[in-house]
Amino acid sequence: MGKKRKLGQQAEVAEAATPEEVSAPQRPKRTLLGWKDGAVGPVQENSSSGAAGARGGVPVFRNKEKVLITCSRRIMSRYRHLMLNVVSLLPHCKKDNKVESKSSKGATLNELVELRNCSYCMFFECRKQKDLYLWMAKCPNGPSVKFLVNAVHTMEELKLTGNHLKGSRPILTFTTNFNKDPHWMLLKEMITQIFETPKDHRKSKPFHDHVFAFAIVDDHIWFRNYQIVNQGGIEETTLVEVGPRFCLNPIKIFGGSFGGPTLYENPFYISPNQIRALEKKKKAGKYATKVKAKTRRKMHELENPLEPDEFADLWRE
């Protein structure tokens, strides 16, 4: 692992340094933990070009987001496959072992993210073998979002017939209602940073042959992935769906990563547990009303007894 990381960093530095070799003659000195005069945290690395120096005072931007993807224990196979699909779509991600979904998972995950040198974390949490929750967290300073995932279709489904290069950079398309509210804006920014493969990433490929569609419909974020089929020119281009498909229902946005103050709460959100309880109660109510009606009838009969029939003994001898 350590070796890999070193290589990656060296490659990045080499790439970054090449364009401005003329203007920046000396490289910053390297220490064991990073660069001497560069910023250490990944946030700063992203916002300004930490080590690579400046060209005429304008900081060169480098996208260095790395995403840790993991899931909870006892996750359903379908959801695990969804996670693996997402892993195959993001060449800049690192997959980690399953994490126990306890109340202390936030701390564990934060530690894990730091260990793996990542700036984002996607955590697929499966509860009750039924419900999938997806956490997207910017580490270590937040924010983090918790989604409920609905309508999951994995890439393995045979009706999704497209295919595309592994690691080619996707085109992200958003609907304009992402710019309407602050929380959607935040989600859009996070999604962009997570799902866009960094330019010149070593595992990325230099062509564009798939497109992600993020759309807000009915206060849910719908995700689709299409292959761009080249049929000789952009006008004749068609799309074929590759998958996966899912629909994200935002539940809460927190200030920190996997915790912290709540910034947003979905007012429409009803947990699947409540929905199931409701259905159960509806079913249970049917029997209860029947029993109640029976007792009521009995009480009524007892209270209002029939008058004795005066002709009852007429034919008896």
Partner 1 sequence: MGGIRREDLFLGKEDFMGRNDDESESELGSGSDSESEEVPSSEPSKRAIYNREGILEKLEDISWPENVDWIHKLAVDLEEDKDLDVNDDIVRELAFYTQALEGTRQAYAKLHSQGVAFFRPPDYYAEMVKTDSHMLKVKGRLLEQKKKIEEAEERKKARESKKMAKEVQAVKLKERAKQKKEDIESVKKWRKQRQRSGFGADKGEDLGFNFDGGGGGGGFERSKKKRPGVAPGDRSGGSAKRNVGGKEKANRKRERRDSKFGYGGRKGLKKQNNAATTDDLRGFNKGDFSSKKRKKNL
- CB 234 → partner 1: shortest distance, Å? 5
List of residues 6+ apart from 261 with CB closer than 8 A: 254, 255
Distances, alpha carbon 290 to alpha carbons 280, 301, 302, in Å: 16, 17, 19
7/299 with CB nearer partner 1: 299
100/156 with CB nearer partner 1: 156
In the structure encoding, which two tokens stand for residue 77, read together? Answer: 């196979």
In the structure encoding, which two tokens stand for residue 179, read together? Answer: 């710019």
- CB 22 → partner 1: shortest distance, Å? 20
- CB 68 → partner 1: shortest distance, Å? 16
Contact 144, 254 (CB under 8 A): yes
List of residues 6+ apart from 260 with CB closer than 8 A: 142, 143, 144, 254
- Return the DSSP state at 178: G
- CB 242 → partner 1: shortest distance, Å? 7
- CB 267 → partner 1: shortest distance, Å? 3
For residue 149, how many other CB atoms are within 10 A of its CB?
A: 20
Closest CA to 212 of 238, 173, 186, 178: 173
100/185 with CB nearer partner 1: 185
7/288 with CB nearer partner 1: 288
73/229 with CB nearer partner 1: 229
